[in-house]
Amino acid sequence: MLHLRQFASVALCATAFIAGNAAAQSYPDKPIRLVVPYAPGGSTDIIARHISEPLSKALGQPIVVDNKAGAGGLIGTAEVARAAPDGYTLAMGTVSTMVIFPATHPKPGYSVDSFVPITNIAAMPNVLVVNPKLPANNLRELIALLKANPDKYSYASSGKGTINHMLGESFQAGAGVKIQHVPYKGSGAAMNDVMGGQVDILFDQLPSSKPHIDSGRMKLLGVIAPKRLSTYPNVMTMEEAGLKGFDDQAWYGLVAPAKTPPAVLARLSSAMKQVLSMPEVRARIEHAGAIPVGNTSAEYAAQIKSEMEKTRKLVKERNISFED
């Protein structure tokens, strides 16, 4: 027989379970906060706003997009990691916040285990662009130029440990070249100096570079994606230039704090599947230069794990330091 104290403990646990299950079943019954860990207007913010209205309709509650920029995405992401795991505070996860920072940053303020991946919303091709005066007109010519002139040329990034930085390191490793890394405190300053000729090369996401490519202020030489872009069919991929396995794309996913109830996660997954099946939503994402994905939670988690292992291996092999 149970002692009185044991009975009380069991009853308390049962009550908590029933209450938690009831809360999950009624989810959502108030507005949901979607944290974008970057400033308004960037690629992550654009994707978040493309899905926020249809997701709000699918769930029957407002989705409030909250931009919490700072430290390359660490501040907003760490805030969500500390939030109550009730489904009312979610985050936009990116390669930088979900993979690179947890794998490389000494004190990011969270780990990959701080979150439950819900779905990868969209992937976005990365590109290699150069100053128009650089004497190379395609990827093979650029690699030949860099091999003949080790450390003569430079590439800009939006900071140490960012996706732009990691792409530059991957390119050097795959192509067997040496380029000087020039880190900036943001992508805007990096891009401006490439266009101005102070730095030669930039690895970037397509949407932010596209206006400058089309205007002739930057020259597109390579695509970092599984296949060529329909908008620039004459520009080869890294694979075509001999860099096997170098098709890393930027991506933008939806994540929740760890220990969020399974019923809540299932509701969010179902709603996101509904949203990403809408032709008008897919069209908006594609217009932003991205590719709708919408994989399962397990697939997204496996993707994050695989990319994290790849990043750790790259950092070790390249002996990359993140000290200032």
Backbone angles phi, psi at 2, to 5 degrees: -80, 135
User: C-alpha 139: how far from its chain's center?
Assistant: 25
- Answer yes or no: is 25 within a domain: no
Residues 120 and 131 in one domain: no
Other CB atoms closer than 10 Å to residue 196's CB: what's the count? 10
The answer to whether the beta carbons of residues 45 and 121 sit under 8 Å apart is: no
Amino acid symbol at 295 = N
The answer to whether the beta carbons of residues 148 and 175 sit under 8 Å apart is: no
- Answer yes or no: is 154 within a domain: yes
- Where is the domain boundary, 241, 262, 292? 241
Written as one string, the DSSP assignment of 28-58 is -SS-EEEEESS-TTSHHHHHHHHHHHHHHHH
Residues 63 and 114 in one domain: yes
- Where is the domain boundary, 241, 276, 292? 241
CATH number for 276: 3.40.190.150
Positions in the chain whose pLDDT score sits under 50: 1-2, 4-5, 7-8, 11-17, 19-20
CA 79, CA 308: separation in Å to the nearest integer? 21
Structure confidence at residue 324 (pLDDT): 57
Which residue in 63, 84, 66 sits closest to 75, CA to CA? Answer: 66
If one counts the domains in the chain, the total is 2
Structure confidence at residue 21 (pLDDT): 55
Give the HSE-up count for residue 305: Cα atoms under 13 Å, Cβ half-sphere: 9
Tens-place pLDDT, residues 150-186: 999 999 998 888 888 999 999 999 999 999 999 987 7
Other CB atoms closer than 10 Å to residue 94's CB: what's the count? 27
CATH number for 144: 3.40.190.10
Tens-place pLDDT, residues 9-65: 554 444 444 544 555 678 999 999 999 998 888 889 999 999 999 999 999 999 999
The answer to whether the beta carbons of residues 314 and 173 sit under 8 Å apart is: yes
Residues 6+ apart with CB under 8 A from 175: 143, 146, 147, 241, 242, 243
Residues 254 and 116 in one domain: yes
CA 205, CA 186: separation in Å to the nearest integer? 13
- Answer yes or no: is 18 within a domain: no
Q: Which domain holds residue 151?
A: 126-241
Residues 120 and 255 in one domain: yes
